[in-house]
Structure 1
Amino acid sequence: MEPKVFLAAGFGNYMTESGFIPERKQEILAYYNELHENGALVFNSHVNEAWGNNGLPPEECMRDDLRALLASNCLCALVDNSGSNGVAFELGYATSIRTPIVLVTQVFSDLSSMIRGIGEILELRVVEGALGDPAVIKRACAEVIELATKRANSDRFWDNKDITRIFKFT
């Protein structure tokens, strides 16, 4: 089974009048492409919304994010110092549904106590370093693939396609 990954990164703070900041786009695409090259199916809001060119209304944005988070085997969160409300929400939601998380950040100890505490209740792997550093990208994506594959292949009976038949849902 192909692992499904939700790739989260700040959005609004990187939009300008001329569009999404190219350097940040390349950084996010580096993770997106690395994950694809390693066999993952990837959901990313930036790609979903054509880097801001096809922005979704709030209800569609929320719907798409929640559906993708529910279906994902792992969340890969690129957390910088921009203070993205969207990424904070996605981290919280993934935590509430116990989705494993790989958090990529410059300095983990600089993040809020809430974010640093995620690892107390679920599997959290932290990769520190410059988000655009190729070595950081490789290391983070390897962690994501490992966690996502492990979860995709786990015996989570509620994900079974036969669940309707097994529990006689009608």
Structure 2
Amino acid sequence: MTAPSNAPRPALPGVNSIFLAGPFMGLVDSATGRMPDAACRPFTVLIEHFEQYGIQVYNAHRREAWGEEVLAPAECTALDQKEIENADVFVAIPGIPPSPGTHIEMGWASVLGKPIVLLMEEGREEEYGYLVRGLGSVATVEFVYVTDIASALADIDAAIRRAVSRLPASA
């Protein structure tokens, strides 16, 4: 039996899981041991957005309670790498200033052949490193230039669809 033509289509076909990366430890307030709410907001907006589609979101920020339950370096490193390997898509906010951990994760995603969507601050493109701006020459990358994550959700979804569609059929 075939589905009726008016049946809802998945918003992000072929995407069951996303690894969401971005600056973390550098944003944790030393007085509270937690990321400030304003720093959490882009991640919570994206997590809620993707989860409404039924997509599993791997995210260290949430997993580690926004800084209140930080894992040991060896544990979080191995877990992040495994979750990137398991994810269908890698989405990241590279950070200005650059987030060293996020940049390592971007490298893992690239080598693992994951479609990558980078959320860059609009108007600050020249502040990103050459290797970030040039990542598309060696990996499947879509750049989305944003001023506010919540206002860019449709553009982010479109970038994910484009990146996934560009993968070789055997991926």
After TM superposition, the score normalised by the length of structure 1 is: 0.81
Q: Determine what percentage of the aligned residue pairs are the same residue.
A: 21
Q: Per-residue CA shift, 1:134-159, capped at 9, x if unaligned?
A: 222332134235645886xx544xxx
* Structure 2 runs not aligned, ≥5 long: 1-13
Which residue in the other structure is 1:9 paired with? 22
Which residue in the other structure is 1:141 paired with? 157
Q: What secondary structure does 1:80 align onto?
A: coil
Q: Assess if the C-alpha contact under 8 Å between 1:74 and 1:144 holds in 2.
A: yes
Q: In structure 2, what is the Cα distance between the partners aligned to 1:146 and 1:41?
A: 19
1:123 aligns with 2:140: yes
Aligned amino acid, residue 144 of structure 1? I
Aligned residues: 154
1:76 aligns with 2:95: no
Give the structure with the higher percent helix: 1
The structure-2 alpha-carbon separation of the partners of 1:88 and 1:45, relative to structure 1 and needing over 3 Å to count, comes to same
1:110 aligns with 2:123: no
The structure-2 alpha-carbon separation of the partners of 1:48 and 1:146, relative to structure 1 and needing over 3 Å to count, comes to farther
Q: In structure 1, what is the Cα distance between the partners aligned to 2:164 and 2:74?
A: 27
The structure-2 alpha-carbon separation of the partners of 1:51 and 1:148, relative to structure 1 and needing over 3 Å to count, comes to farther
Q: In structure 2, what is the Cα distance between the partners aligned to 1:149 and 1:37?
A: 22
Correspondence list, 1:1-170, <5 A: 3-16=16-29, 17-18=31-32, 19-106=34-121, 107-130=124-147, 132-144=148-160, 147=163, 155-156=170-171
Q: What secondary structure does 2:93 align onto?
A: strand
Runs of 4+ in 1 over 6 A off after TM superposition: none
Q: In structure 1, what is the Cα distance between the partners aligned to 2:82 and 2:134?
A: 25
RMSD: 2.2
